[in-house]
Chain A
Amino acid sequence: MTRQKRSHHKLKRAVAPYLYLSPSLLIIGLLMLLPMVTVIAYSFQNSAVLRRDPSFAGLKHYQAIFDDPVFWASLWHTLYFTCMSVIFHMTIGMVFALMLNSDRINPTLRNILRVLYILPWLFTAVIIAVIWRLLLEPNGVVNSILMQIGVIGSKVEWFSSPETALHAVTFANIWAGYPLFMVSLLAGLQGIPKDFYEAADIDGAKAYQKLIFITIPQLMPIIISISLLDFIWTMQVFPLIWITTGGGPIYSTEVLSTYTYKLAFSSYNLSQASASAVVILLISLGLTLFYIRYQKAR
């Protein structure tokens, strides 16, 4: 083989993997990188999208959103909504998974419960929002039941009162999201070797000790992975909040996604909306990097 042929062959071998990867790289570039880079570019322009010749704005739009108290309120609401949702998704998911994995429950009842518990997962965000709007409206079923059993004395405007609105949308989101944890943890529970529990029984361990020292440590990788993913997804929830409260009353349920949407499609300030979107992107990116590092460490 001549030297020229050898180098040609080498080049072909070096290029081949990239050629195989090129279709997916092209798709990722077009569908993910391009929109992301475009939004980042918009955040540094004046009158982005709305003018054909937008001028460079520097960090002006970032400054504007950081000076806006509604942005900080939105950030706080987002954190509250996300943290509470993740904590309760995990807790409820764990309880239901333990229940469905227990031998003490009749198998028929267990199958019925399995179907019932997974139901919220089958509904779209719009349906969930409509269901909870109807249930929690001042003249709705929830108020009626709570008044009959004497928990509340008068009708509560769950979504329309600034005091209760954020808790109400968080509750609706918790209801909608726990099945992911439940299914994942149930799969994890079924993978824990029975030997561990048998050894614990011989040592005279009680049920709560088995839960703390065997079950939870065994499930920890799943708990951390799903929690991180849930944190990222919940932080970006939009339709549920938009349809139930629209970010109101006043700004009590304004989260980063509704704040950004209003900037873009109510104020037509697409530059500031892009800056706000970049902030969401950076927070999500931070969490994603954390998730990737955790996965690598495992």
Chain B
Amino acid sequence: MTFRIKSAMLKIAAAAWLLGATGAMADTTLEFTQWWEPELPAGSLRAIMDDFEAANPGIKVTLVSGPYATTRDQISVGAATGTLSDVVGLDGAWVNNLNAQNALADMNPMMDASGFDKSQVADIIKVDGKAVMFPVASFVYPVFVNLDLAAQAGVTKLPSTRAEFLEAAKKMTNADKNQYGWVLPLSLQTPSGVQNDMMSWVWASGQSMMANGKPDLGGKPVVDMLTFVKSLNDAGTISPGIATKTEQEKVEEFVNDRVGMMIDSLAHVNLIRKRNPKLNFDLIPVPVVENYTGKRGLPYASWGIGISAASKHQEEAWKLVQYLMSEKVNAKLVSLANAFPGNVNAKPDFVTSDKAFGKAFEIFKTGYLANEFTGLPVAEDLMTQFDVQAQKMLAGEQSPEQAAATAQKGWMAKF
């Protein structure tokens, strides 16, 4: 090898080393914080990220995973200190606070610049006009009905209105045998029962707990819902221990044939089957007020996604968000999670292979996703406040109107 060739090779190596050291040839590494990985089959989210990296050379994704509560705390602190990951998994209940901290990027300009088809996504969560979150996967909350209990109680037609639900719950209740028509978890430890088991009645009938962007708890929809819940309680149809009951206990009671009906996440279908393979159950939409024929709001919890305002790699982060929201990838992800897609064109495989999921998918397609706590300030605190007032009402200390009025006052202070 001549001196000239050796010299040229040395120069190339030096240039490559210099470029690498200065970052010109280095990969962009995105940090993606979420709580999804532990809830998905082992390695499945990493596999999706590997596919993304293969499709986008030069971008690497580091997954920062943890349980839901830890992720929530980590994201709150990251937002305050400006160290939020480039891409973050979000719950709708967090986005208002994070937006107030200017921690989330507005994805509107990114959508416009990339020509993103907005009609393909099920929802775009906006706060102050900024598009801050896409629901990637949605876990809807239909009513689960124990068909054997219903048949034994003489319930031949599954309820579709509140009045029918009350009647069915009364028939299914037999306190001597520890059997009740409905179960309502209102533990203050996790006040999500307010969202999933109470407000869902309001949204199902196309109604709202808000008016002009402000709480409207004293309005007819919420007061009617409280009156309805009170009537179920007064009739003795609700399984006892409401004030300390958690969602897990609610599912346990349903699994053990102790309650006839419950509103619960579709994500629990497999768990219920595993715990009691003999349980004969069906899914129905949350019953509505009399004579309501419009589209039904379907309560849901979601795995949302957003981009950090402090990210230095927003362009690459947007590529990852787009990738996860694309039809095929979204279908793959939600199939793994037993959730409904964030992309309206995506069809998860379990809806064709499983009857219960198929039925729930029909309910999902004919209704619309409704969760008004998404985007509200300190959503969990609002639920806690409403929870306390609902507990007082069920304990006979106040009327539905008083409960709604007191909760309204507390909520207004937070807006």
Question: A263: nearest residue on chain B (CB-CB)?
Answer: B381
**A268-B76 contact in complex given A155-B240, A248-B391, A250-B391, C-beta closer than 8 Å:** yes
| A157 & B76 in contact (Cβ 8 Å cutoff) | no
Interface size class for chain A?
20 to 34
Q: Does B48 contact A (CB under 8 A)?
A: no
**A248-B381 contact in complex given A49-B80, A268-B97, C-beta closer than 8 Å:** no
| A248 & B241 in contact (Cβ 8 Å cutoff) | no
| B384 & A262 in contact (Cβ 8 Å cutoff) | yes
Complex formed: what's the CA distance from A265 to B74 in Å?
12
**A138-B241 contact in complex given A242-B189, A249-B391, C-beta closer than 8 Å:** yes
| CB-contacts of A161-182 with B (<8 A) | 161-162, 165
Give every chain B residue within 8 A of A248 (Cβ-Cβ): 186-188, 243-244, 387-388, 391
Give every chain A residue within 8 A of B388 (Cβ-Cβ): 248, 250-251
**A49-B391 contact in complex given A248-B188, A248-B244, A268-B97, C-beta closer than 8 Å:** no
Q: Does B26 contact A (CB under 8 A)?
A: no
| CB-contacts of A243-290 with B (<8 A) | 243-251, 262, 265-268
| CB-contacts of A89-147 with B (<8 A) | 133, 137-139
Q: Does A62 contact B (CB under 8 A)?
A: no
Q: Does A50 contact B (CB under 8 A)?
A: yes
Q: Could you tell me the distance in whole angstroms from the C-beta of A154 to the nearest C-beta in chain B? A: 9
Give every chain B residue within 8 A of A155 (Cβ-Cβ): 240
| B101 & A245 in contact (Cβ 8 Å cutoff) | no
Give every chain A residue within 8 A of B191 (Cβ-Cβ): 266
Interface residues on chain B, number (Cβ under 8 Å): 33
Q: Could you tell me the distance in whole angstroms from the C-beta of A155 to the nearest C-beta in chain B? A: 6
* Best-buried of B77, B97, B191, B241 by chain A (most CB within 10 Å): B241
Contact of A249 among B76, B243, B258, B384 (CB under 8 A): B243
Give every chain B residue within 8 A of A50 (Cβ-Cβ): 76, 79-80, 97, 101
| B188 & A246 in contact (Cβ 8 Å cutoff) | yes
Q: Does A234 contact B (CB under 8 A)?
A: no
| A51 & B80 in contact (Cβ 8 Å cutoff) | yes
Q: Does A159 contact B (CB under 8 A)?
A: yes
| A138 & B395 in contact (Cβ 8 Å cutoff) | no
| B241 & A162 in contact (Cβ 8 Å cutoff) | no
Query: How does the 8 Å CB contact mask read for A31-68 relative to B, with 1 for contact and 0 for none?
Result: 00000000000000000011110000000000000000
Complex formed: what's the CA distance from A249 to B396 in Å?
13
Q: Does A78 contact B (CB under 8 A)?
A: no
| A268 & B80 in contact (Cβ 8 Å cutoff) | no
Give every chain A residue within 8 A of B380 (Cβ-Cβ): 266
Q: Does A160 contact B (CB under 8 A)?
A: yes
| A162 & B189 in contact (Cβ 8 Å cutoff) | no
Complex formed: what's the CA distance from A262 to B384 in Å?
9
Q: Does B378 contact A (CB under 8 A)?
A: yes
Q: Does B155 contact A (CB under 8 A)?
A: no
| B189 & A243 in contact (Cβ 8 Å cutoff) | yes
| B391 & A246 in contact (Cβ 8 Å cutoff) | no
Q: Does B154 contact A (CB under 8 A)?
A: no
Give every chain B residue within 8 A of A249 (Cβ-Cβ): 188, 243-244, 391, 395
Complex formed: what's the CA distance from A250 to B258 in Å?
25
Question: A50: nearest residue on chain B (CB-CB)?
Answer: B80
| B240 & A266 in contact (Cβ 8 Å cutoff) | no
Give every chain B residue within 8 A of A266 (Cβ-Cβ): 191, 378, 380-381, 384
Complex formed: what's the CA distance from A249 to B241 in Å?
10
Complex formed: what's the CA distance from A243 to B188 in Å?
10
| CB-contacts of B382-399 with A (<8 A) | 384, 387-388, 391-392, 395, 397
| CB-contacts of B78-106 with A (<8 A) | 79-82, 97, 101
Question: A159: nearest residue on chain B (CB-CB)?
Answer: B244
Query: How does the 8 Å CB contact mask read for B110-125 relative to A, with 1 for contact and 0 for none?
Result: 0000000000000000
Complex formed: what's the CA distance from A157 to B395 in Å?
12
| A159 & B241 in contact (Cβ 8 Å cutoff) | yes
Complex formed: what's the CA distance from A249 to B388 in Å?
7
Complex formed: what's the CA distance from A161 to B397 in Å?
12
Complex formed: what's the CA distance from A261 to B243 in Å?
19
Give every chain B residue within 8 A of A242 (Cβ-Cβ): 189
Question: B387: nearest residue on chain A (CB-CB)?
Answer: A248
Question: A262: nearest residue on chain B (CB-CB)?
Answer: B384
| CB-contacts of B241-260 with A (<8 A) | 241-245, 258
| A52 & B243 in contact (Cβ 8 Å cutoff) | no
Contact of B241 among A49, A51, A157, A265 (CB under 8 A): A157
| B80 & A246 in contact (Cβ 8 Å cutoff) | no
Contact of A139 among B178, B188, B243, B384 (CB under 8 A): B178
| B188 & A244 in contact (Cβ 8 Å cutoff) | no
Contact of A247 among B73, B188, B242, B245 (CB under 8 A): B188
* Best-buried of A51, A157, A160, A161 by chain B (most CB within 10 Å): A160
Given A138-B241, A246-B189, 20 more pairs with CB closer than 8 A = A50-B76, A50-B80, A51-B101, A52-B82, A139-B178, A157-B241, A157-B243, A159-B241, A160-B242, A243-B189, A245-B188, A245-B189, A247-B189, A248-B188, A249-B395, A251-B388, A266-B384, A267-B378, A267-B381, A268-B381
What 4 A-B pairs have minimum CB-CB distances, sorted nearest first? A246-B189, A249-B243, A246-B188, A248-B188
